[in-house]
Structure 1
Amino acid sequence: MAKRIVFVSRRNSLRSILAHACLMHLAGDRFAVVSCGDPRHVSPSIHPAAAGALVSAGIAVPVTQPRGWNELARPGSARFDFVISLDGPTQLLEPNWPGQPYSALWAFPDAASFAKAEDTAHAAIQILYGLRRRLELLISLPFHRADPAAIGSDIRDLGYLD
């Protein structure tokens, strides 16, 4: 059974999109992956720097548009196994997720807020490589034979990688 993971960032236009696309690229159908952001700040589209970083790495850009967590956290919604937040301030605002999934913070800079497009593009590539390293470790975890709490702890620990 595929593990369900949601990646969360403020606007759901750059960091969470990179994480979503990268995990789908690396692990395919082993995970059911979605991404979302704070409904008050969700971007109308995927940030061009995210799309550019994914294309340059040979990773497909997700076809879904950015969305708020209100679509995923309402009563009766599908439950997630893991929620990975990509910035601390947004994590503090997140709703109570159905099913009480394990949560982790993998903090990355808010590159979408950078003033210069070239700085954002450079940061998006760096974020993608940082995420890829963590996601490669995540998919190597023994999901099929380990205690879910231990896996949750391991996923939290991946947030401390440099």
Structure 2
Amino acid sequence: MTMDTPFNVLFLCTGNSARSVIAEALMNKEGAGRFKAYSAGSMPTGRVNPHVRPIVESCGFQLTDFRSKSWEEFAKPGAPALDFIFTVCDNAAGEVCPIWPGQPMTAHWGVPDPAAVEGSEAQIGAAFAEAARLLGNRIRLFLNLPLASLDRMSLQARLREIGERADQASSAQ
């Protein structure tokens, strides 16, 4: 893998209303031009959850910069060539995905759904902040991988490891 052009990263979730949108915003901020992130869903809700607003705004974006869309958009001719695809919800990880052109690297980075949390605004806000923290941990670990020096099998193993162990590593600190 070379760093001549930005890597395209797609974050998938079922509804594409919260976790995948948060991941898209975080990657576009943290990736600093080395990565271009997108998000999509297998069954998009058609709207971005309003509780995502403070997170995307902290990344320098507006909520209107994002939309809930189908993953089919990224399997069509003319779609960006994807280098990496990460599922961020367990439902999307278990679904049959479209055929992605170019054989992108894939991994599952499951995060609990903050949109499923019921309670006070503070409790809901805390759930969204926690989802952003977990996704941010994974994204920072990914961004620190020596992509140019890893062979495909080693990189695939590291991507899976990030999804499996990122929370263990961050909670031990």
TM-score, normalised relative to structure 1: 0.87
Work out the CA distance in 2 between the residues paired with 1:149 and 1:109.
28
CA distance 1:117–1:91, change in 2 (3 Å): farther
Q: State the 4+ residue runs in structure 1 displaced beyond 4 angstroms.
A: none
Q: Is the 8 A contact 2:6 2:34 kept in 1?
A: yes
> Larger radius of gyration, structure 1 or 2?
2
Q: CA RMSD in A?
A: 1.8
**Pairwise mapping of residues 31-110 of structure 1 onto structure 2 (< 5 A)?**
31-38=35-42, 41-55=43-57, 58-61=58-61, 63-75=65-77, 77-93=79-95, 94-110=97-113
- In structure 1, the residue matched to 2:9 is 5
Cα displacement (A) at 1:153 = 1.8
CA distance in 1, matches of 2:14, 2:20: 9
Q: Could you tell me whether the CA contact under 8 Å between 2:21 and 2:66 is conserved in 1?
A: no
Q: Which secondary structure state, in structure 2, belongs to the residue aligned with residue 28 of structure 1?
A: coil
| Shift, 1:76, TM fit | 5.4
Query: What secondary structure, in the 3-state scheme, does the structure 1 residue paired with 2:128 have?
Result: helix
What is the percentage of aligned positions where both structures have the same residue? 26
Amino acid at match of 2:113: D
Deviations 1:59-108 (A, max 9, x none): 12361312110111125533211110001221222222222211111111
- Name the amino acid aligned to 2:116: S
Task: Compute the displacement of 1:117 (Å).
Answer: 5.6
State the Cα deviation string for residues 98-153 of structure 1 (Å, max 9, x = none).
22211111111122123336233211100111111111111111112221332222
Aligned length: 158
Asked if the contact 2:46/2:67 (under 8 Å) is kept, the reply is yes
Structure 2: gaps (5+ residues): 168-173
Please give the alpha-carbon distance, in whole angstroms, between the structure 2 residues aligned to 1:25 and 1:76: 25
Mapped to 2, the partners of 1:116 and 1:45 lie a distance apart of 21
Q: Structure 1: which 5+ runs fail to align?
A: none
Partner of 2:140: 136
Partner of residue 18 from structure 1, selected from 22, 31, 35: 22
TM-score between both structures, scaled by the size of structure 2: 0.82
